[in-house]
C-alpha cells in the first residue's frame, strides 16, 4: 500500500517543530510494509506548497492519504482534503490529531475526509491498513459508511511507550528542521531537535485541550538512547522537549536532570509552578537547561481557581522568581478574558508582575498574553456548547485559526465589558507589564546588554528562538474570514495596538 502523509501549516504562526506525530505514524505504516511519502506544508510554507502538493498527488499511485491536524487547522485541513479528493476521489483520506479526536462528527460532516482516528494512532493506523475494506472491528475511529457516521468507540492507549520504535528520521530532510529550531536563552545552539518524553498531563485545567487524557512516560533510558542517537547521527547539541508537561513530578525532574547532565547538551521544557522548587530549578540549570515555560495564566487567585489550575499565586510568583535566580530563561504564558475576569483580577495580575524581577523571553513583549479561546476537548468548550454560546461547531472550527496565542482575535467575550473595552483593558495590562520590564532593565543594565547581544546573535542566525510571537503582534488587525462583521472592530484593534507601540 502506498500512503501519502501530510503535515498542515500553522498559518502565520512561526512553528518549526519536527512533525513527531506524523513521524510516529510513518513508522507504524512502514512496519506494515507500506510505502510512505511525506509532505510537510509547514516546512515548505512560502514555496507554493499547495501547488507542490497537488503535483505530488496528481498522477501518483496513492492508496491512502493521512493528514494530521489540530483543531485550529480546520479551515486549512478542509482545503487540503478538497485538493486531495480532486486528484484521487476514491482514495480514503484519514485524519488524526486533536481535530479528529474531539471533532470527528464535524470533520466527517463538514469535509470530504473519510476516517477520523481518535487520540493515539500508533496501533489504530495499523489496524486501518489491515482492514480498510471492513472497518467495523477497528476501535478508535469514526468513519462514514453509506451516508451514515459510524463510531467504533475508543481504542486502548499504548501503556509501554518504550515499545514504540523511534520514528523513521531517514525519511525526513533533517537539516531543514535543525535550521528552524532553537532554544530560548542566552546560550547559542546550532542544531536543535524536538522530542517527547511522555504523553498526557496529570492535571485538568478547564481551558486546556489535551491531546491525551492520561499520563504515560518513557523510561529515562529510552529517552537518553534517542538523544544519543541524535548526537551521534546528526551532531545535535540541544533538545526542545515538547511534552504537554515534562517536569510532572520532582522525582521525574531530578531523573531527567541526572541523565541529561551526562550528555553535555542544552535543553528546555515546560514545567509547573507547584513542582519546580528552587533546588530543582538550580539542578535543571546545572544539567544544561536554558529555559522553562510556566503556565502562569493569571495573577488572580479567583481566576486560577476558576481555571482549575490547582496552584496558588504565591507558588507561581515563587517559581518564576526562583527560575530567574537560577539563571533560566522563563517563558510566562498568560490568558486574558477568562470567565470572571474583572478590574480586580486585572489589578492582581499587574501587581503580580510588579513584585517580580521578570524579563520577557523575546524583545517587545513581557509575557504571552493571549485572549481566551475555547478549544474542542476542553471543559470550557463543552460548557460553551452546553450553554449555547457556541451553536455552530463547524463555524467555530473555521474561526479559531490561531487558538489562544498572542495576536489571536477576540471570538467570544466572557466578561461584563463590551468587546472594545475588553481589548482596551488587555492592552492596558500589556502596557503596564511592559513598563515593569523597562524599569527592571534600567535597574539591571547587564541584563539589557546580555539580551541585546542574544538578539543580535539570533538575527545573525546563530541562535534561533523557536515559536517567536513577533513582539508587538502584526496580526491583531487581521480580519477573521468567517466573522466579517468584526471588520471594523479588528481595524480599531490594530489602531490601538499601533498607538501603544508608538508610545513605547
Q: What is the mean pLDDT of residues 28-47?
A: 87
- Asked if 94 contacts 1 with a C-beta cutoff of 8 angstroms, the reply is no
Q: What is the pLDDT of residue 82?
A: 94
CA 179 – CA 461 distance, rounded (Å): 9
pTM: 0.85
Q: Which tens digits make up the pLDDT trace of 287-298?
A: 999 999 999 999
278, 280, 281, 287: CA torsion to nearest 10:
150
Displacement of CA 433 from its chain's centroid (Å): 24
CA 39 – CA 4 distance, rounded (Å): 8
CA 412 – CA 430 distance, rounded (Å): 20
Q: What is the pLDDT of residue 262?
A: 95
Q: What is the pLDDT of residue 364?
A: 43
pLDDT band at 146; cut points 50, 70, 90: confident
Give me the domains of the chain, ranges plus CATH numbers: 2-145 (3.40.50.2300), 173-503 (3.80.30.20)
Kindly report which listed range (106-120, 241-255, 419-433) carries the lowest average pLDDT score.
419-433
pLDDT band at 360; cut points 50, 70, 90: low
Q: What is the pLDDT of residue 169?
A: 96
Residues 6 or more apart from 257 whose CB is under 8 A from it? Answer: 280, 283, 284, 286, 287, 289
- Asked if 92 contacts 115 with a C-beta cutoff of 8 angstroms, the reply is yes
Structure letter (DSSP) for residue 362:
B
Beta bridge partners of 150: 143
Q: Which tens digits make up the pLDDT trace of 460-474?
A: 543 333 333 333 233
pLDDT band at 64; cut points 50, 70, 90: very high
Kindly report which listed range (194-198, 256-260, 357-361, 399-403) carries the lowest average pLDDT score.
357-361
In percent, the amount of the chain with pLDDT more than 70 equals: 81
Residues 6 or more apart from 294 whose CB is under 8 A from it? Answer: 270, 271, 272, 273, 276, 316, 319, 320, 323, 330, 331, 332, 333
CA 285 – CA 280 distance, rounded (Å): 9
Which CA distances in Å does 356 have to 325, 326, 342, 432? 11, 14, 22, 13
Q: Is the pLDDT of residue 459 over 60?
A: no
Closest CA to 246 of 273, 272, 282: 272
Q: Which tens digits make up the pLDDT trace of 429-456?
A: 888 887 776 666 666 666 566 666 655 6
Q: What is the pLDDT of residue 178?
A: 84
Q: What is the pLDDT of residue 483?
A: 30
Q: Which tens digits make up the pLDDT trace of 208-254?
A: 998 888 899 999 999 999 999 999 999 999 999 999 999 999 999 99
DSSP letter string, 323-349: HHHTT-EEEEEEEES-TT--HHHHHHH
Q: What is the pLDDT of residue 44?
A: 76
Q: What is the pLDDT of residue 468?
A: 30
Closest CA to 405 of 71, 64, 39: 71
Q: Is the pLDDT of residue 27 over 80?
A: yes
Beta bridge partners of 149: 144
Beta strand 216-217 pairing with 64-68: unpaired
Mean pLDDT over each residue of the chain, to the nearest integer: 85
Burial label for 387, CB within 10 Å (0-12, 13-18, 19+), is: exposed
Amino acid at each position: 500500500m502506498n500512503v501519502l502523509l501530510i503535515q498542515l501549516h500553522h498559518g502565520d504562526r512561526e512553528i518549526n517543530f519536527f512533525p513527531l506525530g506524523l513521524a510516529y505514524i510513518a513508522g507504524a505504516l512502514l512496519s506494515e510494509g507500506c510505502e510512505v511519502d511525506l509532505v510537510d506544508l509547514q516546512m515548505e510554507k512560502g514555496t507554493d506548497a499547495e501547488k507542490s502538493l497537488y503535483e505530488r498527488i496528481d498522477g501518483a499511485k496513492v492508496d491512502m492519504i493521512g493528514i494530521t491536524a489540530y483543531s485550529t487547522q480546520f479551515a486549512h485541513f478542509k482545503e487540503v482534503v478538497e485538493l486531495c479528493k480532486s486528484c484521487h476521489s476514491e482514495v480514503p483520506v484519514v485524519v488524526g490529531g486533536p481535530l479528529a479526536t474531539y471533532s470527528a462528527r464535524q470533520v466527517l460532516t463538514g469535509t470530504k475526509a473519510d476516517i477520523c482516528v481518535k487520540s493515539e494512532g500508533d496501533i489504530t493506523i495499523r489496524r486501518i491498513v489491515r482492514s480498510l475494506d471492513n472497518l467495523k472491528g477497528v476501535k478508535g475511529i469514526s468513519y462514514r459508511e453509506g451516508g451514515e457516521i459510524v463510531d467504533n468507540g475508543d481504542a486502548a492507549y499504548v501503556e509501554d511507550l518504550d515499545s514504540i520504535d523511534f520514528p523513521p528520521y531517514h525519511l525526513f530532510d533533517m537539516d531543514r528542521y535543525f535550521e528552524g529550531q532553537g532554544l530560548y536563552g542566552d546560550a547559542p545552539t546550532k542544531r536543535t531537535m524536538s522530542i517527547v518524553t511522555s504523553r498526557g498531563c496529570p492535571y485538568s485545567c478547564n481551558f486546556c485541550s489535551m491531546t491525551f487524557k492520561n499520563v504515560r512516560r518513557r523510561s529515562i533510558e529510552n529517552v537518553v538512547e534517542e538523544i544519543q542517537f541524535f548526537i551521534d547521527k546528526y551532531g545535535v547539541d540541544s533538545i526542545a522537549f515538547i511534552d504537554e508537561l515534562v517536569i510532572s513530578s520532582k522525582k521525574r525532574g531530578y531523573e531527567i536532570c541526572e541523565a541529561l547532565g551526562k550528555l553535555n547538551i542544552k535543553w528546555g521544557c515546560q514545567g509547573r509552578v507547584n513542582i519546580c522548587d528552587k533546588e530543582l530549578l538550580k539542578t535543571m540549570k546545572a544539567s544544561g537547561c536554558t529555559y522553562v515555560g510556566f503556565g502562569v495564566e493569571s495573577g488572580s487567585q479567583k481566576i486560577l481557581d476558576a481555571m482549575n489550575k490547582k496552584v496558588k499565586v504565591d507558588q507561581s510568583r515563587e517559581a518564576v522568581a526562583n527560575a530567574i535566580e537560577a539563571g533560566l530563561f522563563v517563558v510566562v504564558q498568560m490568558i486574558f478574558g477568562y470567565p470572571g475576569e474583572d478590574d480586580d483580577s486585572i489589578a492582581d495580575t499587574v501587581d503580580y508582575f510588579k513584585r517580580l524581577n521578570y524579563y520577557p523571553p523575546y524583545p517587545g513583549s513581557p509575557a504571552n498574553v493571549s485572549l481566551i479561546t475555547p478549544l474542542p476537548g476542553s471543559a470550557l468548550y463543552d460548557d460553551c456548547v452546553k450553554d449555547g454560546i457556541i451553536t455552530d461547531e463547524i463555524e467555530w472550527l473555521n474561526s479559531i485559526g490561531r487558538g489562544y496565542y498572542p495576536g489571536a482575535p477576540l471570538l467570544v467575550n466572557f466578561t461584563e465589558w463590551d468587546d472594545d473595552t475588553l481589548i482596551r483593558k488587555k492592552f492596558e495590562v500589556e502596557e503596564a507589564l511592559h513598563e515593569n520590564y523597562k524599569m527592571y532593565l534600567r535597574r539591571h543594565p547587564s541584563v539589557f546588554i546580555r539580551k541585546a547581544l542574544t538578539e543580535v546573535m539570533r538575527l545573525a542566525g546563530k541562535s534561533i528562538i523557536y515559536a517567536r510571537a513577533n513582539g508587538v503582534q502584526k496580526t491583531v488587525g487581521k480580519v477573521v474570514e468567517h466573522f466579517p462583521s468584526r471588520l471594523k472592530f479588528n481595524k480599531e484593534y490594530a489602531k490601538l495596538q499601533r498607538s501603544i507601540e508608538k508610545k513605547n
